[in-house]
Amino acid sequence: MTDFLNFDLCRTANLVSSGELSAVELTTASINRAEALQPKLNSFISLEKDEALEAAENIDKRLQKGERIGSLAGIPLAHKDMFYRNGKITTCGSKIRSKFKGDRTSTALSRLEKAGALYLGGLNMSEFAVGPIGNNVHYGDCFNPWNQEHTPGGSSSGSGAAVASRTVYGALGSDTGGSIRIPSAMCGVVGIKPTQTRVSRFGLMPLSFSFDCSGPLTRTVRDAARIMHIIAGHDRKDPTSSQRKVQDYETECNKEVASMRLGIPSSYFYDDLDTEVDRLLQETRKIFKDLKVELVSVDVPSHDHINLIWAAALAAEASTIHRKWLRERPNDYGPMVKRRIEFGLYQPATRYLEALTLREKYLRNYCDTVFSKCDALLTPTMPVVAPRYQDLDVGGGEGMPALVLMLSRNTRPISYLGLPALSVPCGFSSKGLPAAFQLIGRPFSEGKLFRLGNAYQNATEWHNTIPQIVK
C-alpha cells in the first residue's frame, strides 16, 4: 500500500516521526513514482536515488534511538535545479551549466536538511529561470499532470508537476515575476512568493538581484507554512536577508479569519479574465463570505508604469549576469531565453535607475492606498488556465513577448513591489484544468495569508483532488 503518497506533508511527517511509517519505505515509494512518471511529465533533471535512500536509512536509525530531528524528518522533497549544493551539479536548466558544481550549499537547502528533509533530486525548470511556460530546449519540456498536452507553467515547472503528481511532498522554486505562483496555479498546488528578503538567497542562482525570491510549492497551505517557517529568517551569508522575527506560520493557520477584510481590486487584476476563471473566483468570494470574511472593493494604483520599469530592471540585471556567456556562448541559449536576456543590453541606465529609485515610492503608495482598507487582496493568480503547448510561441518569435506578459500580468507587479503573495487552487475548468486565486499582503504579512488560505482549504476539497496520470 502506498496511499501515504497521497497524504499531505504534515500528516505524513507525523506518521514518520511516530514510527508508523519508515523513511525508507516512504522514500522508496517516492522514487518509484518519480521513475514511473518521468516519461510522462519529465519533471526531474536528476534523480538521486542512492543518496536519498542512504539519508532515509539514517533518519530511521536516529528515530529508533529516540532522537528528536525536526518537523520534516524523513520527508522526500525535490527542488528546482538552481539551488546550489557544494560539489554537486546544478544545471539551472541550461546547457551552459550542465556540468557546473557548486562551491557552496544553499542556505534554504541546508535548513531543510537540518529539519530532516530528504533531497530526491533536481527538478526541471525553464532555462536560467526565464519564462512562464515550462518548456526547455536542453532537458525537454515539462508537462502538466492534469493533461500532458498543456504547460505546467514556469519557470518552476518541475516543482509544480512533481508536487501535483504526488511524487514529492514539497519543492522549492524561485519567483522573480511569478515563477512560483504561475506553475502553482497551472498545476493545482499551493505556492508562496514571500516578502522580498524574507528567505535567504545564498546559494541560489541569480536572475535579478532586485526581484529574486525563493519559496515552497506544496499540496496544502499548512504544508507551505511549515516549510516557510523553516527556511525564513536572517542569514549572515546573505546580508540582504531580513532580521525581522519569523512568525510561527503553522500556528497562524489555526487562527480565525472572521472579520478579516479581503480587498477586491476594482481594476486591472480582474480585467480580461477567462470566463471559467471568472466563475471560479466568484465562487471563491462566496466561500470567504461564508467564513465571515468581509469583502471590500479597493481601488489599486495603476500598474502600467510598474510593469514597464519592472521589465527594464529585470532585463538589465539578467543581462549583466549573463553578459560574458552571451558574448562567448551565444548559441548555447534557447532562442526565447536568449532574446529575453539580450533585451537588457539595450536598456538605458536612466530607465534602470528609475525602476530602483521609484520602488519605495510605489510600495508606500500601494500600502497606503490598498492595505489601509484590507488585510489582503484577493485576485486571480492568472487570467487563464494552463494553455496547450501547441498553441504557444515558445521559440522566441514575434508572439512571445505578448504571451509572457499575458501569463504573468497578475504576478509581476507584486514582484516589483516585493510583496508576499500566496497562490491557492480554487477549482477546475470544464476541461479539468486547475485555476487559482492569489492572496497579496503588505510586507511580512505571510501569517495573515496563510491564515486566510488555510481557512479556505478547510472549507473546500480542491487541494485533495489528485490528477489521474496514465502511466
What is the distance in angstroms between the CA of the first residue and the CA of the last residue of the chain? 18
Q: Which residues contact 22 (CB under 8 A, 6 or more apart)?
A: 16, 56, 60, 74
* Active-site residue identified among 30, 94, 106, 155: 155
Q: Which three cell numbers stand for residue 422?
A: 500566496
- Residue 163 near residue 187, CB atoms below 8 Å: yes
Distance CA 20, CA 167 (A): 20
Contact 354, 309 (CB under 8 A): yes
For residue 219, the one-letter residue type is: R
State the virtual CA torsion across 182, 185, 191, 192 in degrees, nearest 10.
Answer: 60
Catalytic residue among 126, 179, 408, 429: 179
Distances from the Cα of 308 to the Cαs of 152, 174, 304, 384, 425, in angstroms? Answer: 26, 21, 7, 22, 29
SS3 25: helix
Q: Which of 17, 30, 80, 241 is catalytic?
A: 80
Strand residue runs (E) in 99-158: 118-123
Measure the CA–CA gap between 299 and 470, rounded to whole angstroms.
46
8 Å CB contact between 446 and 439: no
Kind of pairing, strands 376-380 and 261-265?
Answer: parallel
Can 80 be counted among the known catalytic residues? Answer: yes
Q: Which H/E stretch holds residue 46?
A: strand 44-47
445 is catalytic: no
Instruction: Specify whether 126 is catalytic.
Output: no
Compute φ and ψ for 215, nearest 5 degrees: -170, 175
CA separation for the pair 240, 234 (Å, rounded): 8
| N residues, the chain | 471
CA distances from 142 to 41, 161, 162, 186, 231 (A): 6, 8, 10, 12, 26
Can you tell me the distance from the alpha carbon of 395 to that of 421, in angstroms, rounded to the nearest whole number? 30
Cell digits of residue 49: 536515488
Q: Between the CA of residue 332 and those of 126, 155, 170, what are the distances in Å?
A: 14, 18, 31
**Dihedral, CA of residue 324, residue 329, residue 334 and residue 338, to nearest 10:** 40
Measure the CA–CA gap between 275 and 376, rounded to whole angstroms: 24
Q: Which residues are catalytic?
A: 80, 155, 179
